[in-house]
Amino acid sequence: MGNRGYLRTQEIFAMALIIISIKLTDSTPSLLAQKGQNGFWLIPILSFALILPGFLLMIYLLKKYENKNLIELFESILGQWFGKLIGFILFLFAFFAMTLDSRNYVEQIKLLYFPETPSDLIFIIFFGIVFFGAKKGIEVIGFTSWISFFVLNFFTFLIIVLIWGDIVVERIYPIFGSGLDHLLNQGYQKAAMFSEIFFFLIAYQAAKQTEMFRKGIVIAFTYGFFLIILFYFIYVSVFDYNSIQKLAFPFHDITQYVNFGSFFTNIETIFMIFWLIAAYLKFMILLYAAGWIFGTIFNIQNFDPVLLPLAFLVVTIGLMPFNSIMNELVLRETLFMIMSPFFIFLPFLLWGIALMKGDLRK
């Protein structure tokens, strides 16, 4: 446990990539398609464009204020108490994003692979494993992510190859889906779909050199963004707009649909295993990051013991929404709407204050 500074560019890259790009396998595409119809695959482009300047600005600030992680950066720019307050809001966001997301993943596992098992039990086991993984520390998670990177990529591209024949490109037309104004609006409201990348900034000091962290996270953000666009494009062109709105889990519908010739049918379990590895890693990273944020705010040097109560809270609160539709279409959507302006504007606020204080000139 603990951070000895062994993480290099590739581990940072692999971790950041997993937390961003796993968005393509859950219900986020259906959430976007509710309002965007078949133009929904363009929404992430706008969201990306909105989030990117702020994100780069954060990286720049972190670089300027050496030896500080995200929360410490808030504190030195905004003053201790106000900085901690913003930090706490960030923690709440990370916590609720994790909770609502995890419910979504548990529903996927239950619905598709373990229909008889009670959700509670899947949730407990799932987060039990996530907790043990997170407890191992950021470096173990980083190495695991990097080891899985190639396998996960292989299976991601295997799906693309297998579904290729069913893509009908014309389905992306009418190009703006439900209308350009809807898309722009959604692109702004759902900008928080990239919020995980901000939570991950807490690990700024984890890499051997901070330059490695910057490089890894920027590459991962770009690559993850392209993967998301690619997959959303595939969903639109395979399912068409009226169907995509109805599917809760388009990724799993695709893995159920594809086959290797007529002899090897029903092959979704192969993909399920690797998807599950990615899902575990995602929540390990998020749980660890949430614990880290919490630890920094309350000056807990060794925040390890925080992870267990956090994991417990995630399970308890995650089980509260009445069903997955409510969880996805109401709660998660609301969370996105609250988080989006926060992540778009916060970096500029920080930058402005830092500029006025004259901190950036040294």
Query: Shortest approach of another protein to residue 229 CB, angstroms?
Result: 19
Query: Shortest approach of another protein to residue 238 CB, angstroms?
Result: 8
Rounded CA-CA distance 197/58 in Å is 11
Please identify which residue in the block is written with the tokens 């984890």: 206
Q: Which of 262, 299, 301, 302 binds another protein (CB under 8 A)?
A: 262
User: Which residues fall within 8 angstroms of residue 3, CB to CB, at 6 or more apart?
Assistant: 137, 138, 139, 205, 206
Please identify which residue in the block is written with the tokens 């490695």: 212
Side-chain-side CA neighbours of 92 within 13 Å: the count stands at 11
**Which residues from 131-170 bind another protein, rule CB under 8 A?**
165-166, 168, 170
* Binding residues with another protein: total (CB under 8 A): 41
Type of residue found at 82: F
Please identify which residue in the block is written with the tokens 């962290």: 213
Q: Which of 88, 113, 223, 233 binds another protein (CB under 8 A)?
A: 113
Rounded CA-CA distance 152/146 in Å is 10
Rounded CA-CA distance 255/141 in Å is 27
Q: Which of 60, 88, 143, 176 binds another protein (CB under 8 A)?
A: 176
Nearer Cβ to another protein (4/246): 246
Q: How many residues does this entry show for the chain? A: 362
Q: Which of 89, 112, 272, 317 binds another protein (CB under 8 A)?
A: 112
Nearer Cβ to another protein (32/71): 32
Instruction: Tell me which DSSP letter residue 327 carries.
Output: I
CA angle in degrees (0–180, nearest 5) for 79-85-88: 135
Contacting range for another protein; rule: CB under 8 A; set: 13-21, 92-100, 116-124, 219-227: 116-124
**Which residues from 224-253 bind another protein, rule CB under 8 A?**
239-243, 246, 252-253
**Which residues from 29-58 bind another protein, rule CB under 8 A?**
37-39
Which residues are near another protein by CB under 8 A?
Answer: 37-39, 111-118, 121, 125, 128, 165-166, 168, 170-171, 173-180, 239-243, 246, 252-253, 256-257, 259, 262, 265-266
